[in-house]
Amino acid sequence: MKYTDIRSVMTCLDDAKRSLQFIRSKANEWNLDKSRIGAYGNSAGAGISLWLAFQPEMSDPNHSDLILRESTRLKVAGAFATQATYDILKWPEILQIPAGSELLLMFLSAHGLQDEFRDARRSQDTKSPNKELDSIRKNVDLPGLMSSDDPPIYVSNWMRGGTPEGLGHLFHHPLHAVALKTRAEEVGLEAVVYAEKLGIGPEKEKQETQVSFFLRHLTDK
């Protein structure tokens, strides 16, 4: 069946969710304040951190597995060299890539999504006839999940702009950060976003490191 890699993405994200819940389940043993937990990462770790940040509460308070009863909400999240969304059919628009880009088509084909992309373009409809695929796309679309009551985010994509050259540039393009910034402004979510090669970042007096951003949101100082 197609899009097996997309299913694998969901498996990874679910593993991350359980890891967060496992940490909370050990709060007493490890002397942690489970109300003050943040997450950050680079590239895939960045996207995972944002996915956790933007998801609504995913705990199951009545589950027989005590770990799954723990909260999945974060206090703050950080992302370096992140992707804007794991609904990769939206990347051409986000990254301003020509639909016929050889790099894009190679990437989509590797994930079993080339036909879906072409069908969507032909019909001018972003929805696929496959309900499972549509459900997965919705569940991994970070901007679509974002809301004003989500934890504040710190985002930094430092690569240059322009047409993506190679997969590394495609995955970590600064326009990914711009898309997250735009959506955060739309929903009213606090977001410190740097895409320096595009001239995007807070005013000088408002600039801060991720460490200071996290400390500001995880402590009472």
pLDDT at 24 over 60: yes
Q: What are 109-137's pLDDT values in tens digits? A: 766 666 666 666 555 555 555 677 788 88
| Whether 201 contacts 193, CB under 8 Å | yes
Cα–Cα distance between 101 and 65 in angstroms, integer?
A: 47
Task: Give the chain's domains with CATH numbers.
Answer: 4-87+140-218 (3.40.50.1820)
Question: What is the per-residue DSSP string for 153-211?
Answer: EEEE--S--SS--SHHHHHH-HHHHHHHHHHHHHHT--EEEEBGGGTB---GGG---HH
pLDDT at 16 over 90: yes
Does this model's pTM top 0.85? My answer is yes
Of residues 71 and 118, the one with the higher pLDDT is 71
pLDDT at 1 over 90: no
* Two tokens, residue 212: 């200071």
Of the chain, the percentage scoring pLDDT greater than 90 comes to: 69
Element (H, E) at 39: strand 38-42
Element (H, E) at 44: helix 44-54
Please give the sequence-ordered ranges of beta strands (E in DSSP) within 105-164, or none if there are none: 153-156
Q: How crowded is the C-beta side of 93, counted as CA atoms within 13 Å?
A: 11
* Whole-number pLDDT of residue 107: 75
Q: What are 171-187's pLDDT values in tens digits? A: 999 999 999 999 999 99
Q: 103 pLDDT band (50/70/90 cuts)?
A: confident
Q: 11 pLDDT band (50/70/90 cuts)?
A: confident
Give the contacts of 117 (CB within 8 A, at least 6 positions apart). Answer: 89, 92, 105, 108
Give the contacts of 196 (CB within 8 A, at least 6 positions apart). Answer: 158, 174
Q: What are 148-168's pLDDT values in tens digits? A: 999 999 999 999 999 888 889
Please give the sequence-ordered ranges of beta strands (E in DSSP) within 68-120, or none if there are none: 76-80
